[in-house]
Amino acid sequence: MSGPKVPFQETWQRWSTRATSQLAPIKEKLRNTATQVAGIAETMQELEDDSQQLALKVTWVTQIILDRIAPDGPGDERAKEVVSALAAKVSEISAFLRSGTKKGDITGKRARKISKYHKTLDALRLQCVEIHTDVSNDMAGRSLGQQGPFLIDIPPTPEAFYSRDEVVESIVQLLLQDKLCRVPILGPGGIGKTSVAAAAMNDEQVKERYREHIFFLSCEGIDSEEGLVNALAVFFRVQRDSNTRTALIAHLSSLGRALLTLDNFETTAQSDRQHIRELLGRIGRVPSFSLIITMRGTQPAQGLTWDDVPPLQNSHFSVATGYGDCGPLLKTSIATLRGSRSTGGSDSLSNSEDTDSVYRIGDEERDIAECLKTLGNVLIKQFRYEEAAAMVTEARAVFEAIPYRLGVAQCMRSHGEILRVQSRYDEVAAPFTEARAAFEVIPNRLGAAQCVRDLGDLLRLQSRYDEAAALLTEARAAFEAIPNRLGAAQCAHLLAHILNMQSQHEEAAVLATEARAAFEAIPNRLGAAECVRDLGDILRMQSRHDEAASLLTEARAAFAALPHRLGAAHCTQLLGESMRMQSQYEEATSLLTEARAVFQAVPQHFSAAVCILGLGNILVDQSQCTEALSMLREAEKIFEDSGTKWELADCKQSLAYLFVKQGRISMARHMLDEAREIFEAKYWGSFQGGRVHCGTVGVRQRRRDGE
């Protein structure tokens, strides 16, 4: 497969051009249905995200059917069945999309309805694969044995696709290696496994490597090894007879380098476990043939040694764009799994059933734990930290009871993240360190590298810059060795931030620009927006305020488009600081107050305290000393509680300015001594600017006041 995905309108126009004025009734119905789908495609960008995914699926399936069923000829009975079913389903989906129900109204019932639509469309697509008569007419002159399925048989990357960059990137890097790949994409239902597979298959480097030999087959409705063999035989146009399996393996071997994705593989794998294991073993011995499966659960099908892929779970983008409303669905899934576990009981089993039943029960326990962990991560991004901690703790207990070491390690890391986002920095190191050790024992290189990055970022937040840089450099090297472009770009971004804080602005700008380019190449819109914000902050710290304002405004717009309100609020705060530095106090106060309100609503106490410090500095400059003292003391306490040394030292210097204005020189000297101790402590490392700064505060303030 190579080249861009085909737009629906192009497929529809090509089909319409070939249509005669007198179409067979079933073709007329297909034309009317496609016209309706064209209307859906035109309004797709106006839909909510879950509806947009459904609209994308219905346009894609209709494209496949248009490509398989030529406008000329009467069409066989199977074609009539497919078109009639498509027409009915498109009318139903069109009415659903026009209903105008907003994402905030999503319930478990609505989510299940959307999931049912997706399954029905997948079933129609599978039916369409077996339509022979019209395919032969439609593909006259093409060598089916060499060409394989149409380009449109490969699902496109969803237009609204966020939060999965890390998983997609790890899969892409596996697919680009010289060795064969066996990639399992696992997780609860409805979490985006197919979308991740589609994103990996549509990566430009993957398309260049595998060219026309990228294949995608939905296994929805295939409940046996024989059914899978027959579906693959039809899919690859292999003659079906008594030696179908041998002929299929021979055909796969003839392809050279190839990639096959088996989507929704759980029913197939679990219904005929022994025979599927044997078939996968045979496929696994085909030279140069890589395989991706997507399936519910936490364990891949048996029969192959699978590659280590990060688990699929919700993250802040999925929540920010509305997928956080999957909470009701996740809770329903947990209840259903628990009900299944309890009704399954521990009744006596026959010898033939015993192994598979034990395996199934263990799988259900892991599914429950995965749902709990995923729900915990959703709650983190919704700032519901106590509930998140409870979910993650429960998930960890289930993983430990199974036991499942990878799940336990992931819960350790999630617990550290809960503490980090609450600015409880003194408590964060323990769970991250514990998680790192657990990942290294498994071993899981990606998880271990992520923990090293997390620990480096923690030290950065505590202004322990030399130690932070060492860990982030170590993590960056680990990500590059895996390889994992996203992790490496994140480390480069954090290292740029450290250089900026150490007043190495030129070096920081070079590294931030490099990180931005890496994020854009992945692509990762959040990382790119953060780099633009930091480039603006570098300019702000150099007093290049006009250039800084331009970049910060650009970054704020990028965050708002995601949407990512905390990122946008950080840009607002930096714009406010820039205005304050230019003595534009009214504009600065407005911006800092706006940002503080967002941070307090989350709550993010540390970021709110940074805004409070800025507002206090404005009041100091305006000689409103009483109000300024109250604000600065409030910020000082938050910084002390969170253990953030740089901001605490900065706050103490602001208090020194205030005390000089009030003529309280001894208090000012005391504040300066405390700030100097922080600058000279191990937390500040090699940076010595703080000592000079503290020593000149009193003189500079007296000069400003004309004393």
Angstrom distance (rounded) from CA 267 to CA 175 = 25
Is the residue at 180 inside a domain? yes
Q: What is the average pLDDT score of the chain?
A: 79
Residues 140 and 194 in one domain: no
Is the residue at 704 inside a domain? yes
Residues 94 and 191 in one domain: no
CATH number of the domain that residue 678 is part of: 1.25.40.10
Tally of domains in the chain: 4
- State mean pLDDT over 183-202: 83
Residues 116 and 45 in one domain: yes
CATH number of the domain that residue 189 is part of: 3.40.50.300
Q: Which of 48-52, 300-304, 545-549 has the lowest mean pLDDT?
A: 48-52
Residues 265 and 328 in one domain: no
Residues 323 and 420 in one domain: yes
pLDDT at 315 over 50: no
Q: How confident is the model at residue 453 (pLDDT cuts 50, 70, 90)?
A: very high
Out of 425, 443, 461, a domain closes at 443
Q: How confident is the model at residue 647 (pLDDT cuts 50, 70, 90)?
A: confident
Angstrom distance (rounded) from CA 230 to CA 132 = 14
pLDDT tens by residue, 27-75: 788 888 888 888 777 776 666 666 777 888 888 788 878 877 777 655 6
pLDDT at 706 over 50: no
Is the residue at 630 inside a domain? yes
Of all residues in the chain, what percent carry a pLDDT higher than 70?
78
pLDDT attached to residue 347: 41
Q: Which of 349-363, 433-447, 537-551 has the lowest mean pLDDT?
A: 349-363
pLDDT at 222 over 50: yes
Beta-carbon contacts of 276 under 8 Å, excluding residues fewer than 6 positions away, are 225, 228, 268, 269, 301, 302, 303
Residues 303 and 320 in one domain: no
Angstrom distance (rounded) from CA 234 to CA 222 = 13
Is the residue at 524 inside a domain? no
Residues 334 and 386 in one domain: yes
pLDDT attached to residue 147: 38
pLDDT tens by residue, 109-155: 676 777 788 778 877 776 665 554 344 334 333 333 333 333 346 77
Query: Greater confidence, 633 or 177?
Result: 633
Residues 632 and 682 in one domain: yes
pLDDT tens by residue, 478-529: 999 988 888 999 999 999 999 998 989 999 999 999 999 999 988 788 999 9
Is the residue at 669 inside a domain? yes
Residues 174 and 308 in one domain: yes
Q: Which of 226-235, 346-355, 562-571 has the lowest mean pLDDT?
A: 346-355
Out of 411, 443, 475, a domain closes at 443
Nearest-5° Cα angle at 440, 438 to 442: 70
CB 287 within 8 Å of CB 351:
no
CB 6 within 8 Å of CB 153:
no
- State mean pLDDT over 224-253: 86
- State mean pLDDT over 567-594: 95
- State mean pLDDT over 641-652: 85
pLDDT attached to residue 109: 67
Q: How confident is the model at residue 340 (pLDDT cuts 50, 70, 90)?
A: low
Query: Greater confidence, 9 or 701?
Result: 9
Residues 643 and 679 in one domain: yes
Residues 140 and 178 in one domain: no
Residue 305 has a CB neighbour count (10 Å cut-off) of 7
Secondary structure (DSSP) of 226-267: HHHHHHHHHHTTPPPSTTHHHHHHHHHHHT-SEEEEEES-HH
pLDDT at 159 over 80: no
pLDDT attached to residue 562: 84
Angstrom distance (rounded) from CA 1 to CA 211 = 4
Kind and range of the H or E element at 692? helix 689-705
Is the residue at 570 inside a domain? no
SS (H, E, C) 597-638: HHHHHCCCHHHHHHHHHHHHHHHHHCCCHHHHHHHHHHHHHH
Query: Greater confidence, 30 or 607?
Result: 607
pLDDT attached to residue 545: 94
DSSP state of 107: -
Q: Which domain holds residue 360?
A: 316-343+353-443
Is the residue at 348 inside a domain? no
Residues 27 and 140 in one domain: yes
Out of 121, 153, 185, a domain closes at 153
Buried b / exposed e across 26-64, counting CB within 10 Å, b at 16+?
bbebbbebbebbbebbeebeebbbbbbbbbbbbbbbbbb
Beta-carbon contacts of 428 under 8 Å, excluding residues fewer than 6 positions away, are 416, 419, 420, 458
At 70, list the tokens: 């030529």
Q: How confident is the model at residue 192 (pLDDT cuts 50, 70, 90)?
A: confident
Nearest-5° Cα angle at 73, 72 to 79: 105
pLDDT at 3 over 80: no
Is the residue at 41 inside a domain? yes
